[in-house]
Amino acid sequence: MSESLIRLTELSMLFDGETVLDGLNLTINDSEFLTLLGPSGCGKTTTLRIIGGFLSPTSGDVFFNGRRINDVPPYKRQINTVFQKYALFPHLDVYENVAFGLRVAKLPKEEIDKRVTEMLGIVSLSGFEHRAVTSLSGGQQQRVAIARALVNHPKVLLLDEPLGALDLRLRKDMQNELKRIQQAMGITFIYVTHDQEEALTMSDHIVVMDKGHIQQIGTPEDIYNEPENAFVADFIGESNILDGVMLADYKVRIFGHSYVCLDSGFAKNEPVDVVIRPEDIDIVPAEAGVLTGTVTSVTFKGVHYDIIVDFGGFKWLIQTTDFQPVGAKIGIMLEPDAIHVMKKSVYSDSFGDYSSYSDEYDELEDDPEGLCDEE
């Protein structure tokens, strides 16, 4: 399970003098579901295309089962890809699309028939054998693309934002479906997405990328609960990111108050970034709170309310199921496990401030591709 299958060492990629990947090191284990997560332009698709053999890295090496495969063309790799826009062959029907790789491999007819039929069953497309692929819906085309890749029993399946074109409902179904198929077949999945929720739902490990660098590698829980820097904290979920000073192990000062936390290993009086997730903040009556602030905006989100609270000029996002009217004075309490301390990074001060909260949400709604999906 934890055996290393693919290893990328010091991988760099330049396009027209622009650095897309910068000294990337990554080990991918056999049979794991690994997600490359990051905003557009972070280098995640480039990494995937290098693994697939469609791009040659400017420098650095790709190892597969311990063998260097930089110069192995795509058709000789035990890797199959589900392309972003599916790339189904329009001149072939569903059956022939799925059978394509097996026919190229010159398998016996009965074997092809058996495997294609079985695969179409797995992706719930039995009975669609002789339909034209152009007559299928997006979700169905998606499943043909997955079947076409998996029928070859690859060691690794690469998926490049495969659910991007589907509507939300279908996307959720396909997420479960993909995870189920991955576990049933025991194949390594390398999944590229910009959707943090998708990454958290499906992955064994998540690689958060930005500007050609890996920002953090970890399990979904690690990434969410213990983000390594302000970028990760902001990209995965909502975060209030504050300046703090580490007074001693397990003791951090924010806004002149000192709090007990669970973090240690920092220098004495080291300036740090402090992440407080909006759902971890307890609202109490003003007189009982450590900090008191004024509610400046309330948005109903279904399960909870997003409220923006002004604490002496710095605005926090708090998620609560209790309605608080605008203008209300409230107090807050912070439990030690609500506070996460991170080292200062280049991303400090550029994320986690909700002073321009409403603008940010407007931008999200204007963004048709959901490139900055954050919930």
Partner 1 sequence: MRNKLLSAPYLVWMAMFTIVPLCVVVYFAFTSSATGAFTLDNILQIATYTPIFLRSIGYAIAATLICLLLGYPVAYVIAQARPGAQRFLYMLIMLPMCMSFLLRTLAWVSLLQDTGIINNLLGHFGIGPLPLIRNAGAVVAGMVYNYLPYMIMPLYTVIMKIDHSLIEAAEDLGCNGRQVFSRVVFPLSLPGIISGITMVFVPAVSTFYISQKLGSTSTTMIGDVIESQFKAAYNPNLGAAMSLVLMVLIFLSIGIMNRFAGADEDEVITV
Q: Does 152 bind partner 1 (CB under 8 A)?
A: yes
- For residue 256, the tally of other CB atoms under 10 A from its CB is 8
Question: Among residues 104, 248, 284, 326, which is the contact residue for partner 1, using CB under 8 A?
Answer: 104
Question: Among residues 26, 149, 192, 207, which is the contact residue for partner 1, using CB under 8 A?
Answer: 149
Contact region for partner 1 (CB under 8 A) — 144-152, 175-183, 188-196, 238-246? 144-152
The SS3 assignment for 56 reads: coil
What does the buried/exposed string (b/e) look like for 106-145 if buried means 16 or more CB atoms within 10 Å of the residue's CB? ebeeeebeebbeebbebbebeebeeeebeebeebbbbbbb
- The footprint of partner 1 on residues 300-319 (CB under 8 A) is none
Q: Does 165 bind partner 1 (CB under 8 A)?
A: no
Question: Among residues 38, 43, 52, 162, which is the contact residue for partner 1, using CB under 8 A?
Answer: 52
Question: Among residues 105, 248, 290, 371, which is the contact residue for partner 1, using CB under 8 A?
Answer: 105
* Chain mean position to CA 50: 19
Q: Does 15 bind partner 1 (CB under 8 A)?
A: no
- CA-nearest of 108, 134, 129 to 119 is 129
Give the Cα separation of 343 and 345 in Å (integer): 6
Q: Does 101 bind partner 1 (CB under 8 A)?
A: yes
Question: Among residues 31, 45, 80, 182, which is the contact residue for partner 1, using CB under 8 A?
Answer: 80
Nearer to partner 1, 54 or 323 (CB): 54
Q: Does 361 bind partner 1 (CB under 8 A)?
A: no
Give the Cα separation of 267 and 240 in Å (integer): 23
For 339-362, give the DSSP string: EEEEE--TTTTTS---TTHHHHHH
Nearer to partner 1, 80 or 320 (CB): 80
Q: Does 73 bind partner 1 (CB under 8 A)?
A: yes
Residue 105 CB, nearest approach to partner 1 (Å): 6
Rg (CA), the chain: 24
Cβ pair 18, 70 in contact under 8 A: no
Q: Which residues bind partner 1 (CB under 8 A)?
A: 52-54, 73-75, 79-81, 83-85, 87-91, 100-101, 104-105, 148-149, 152
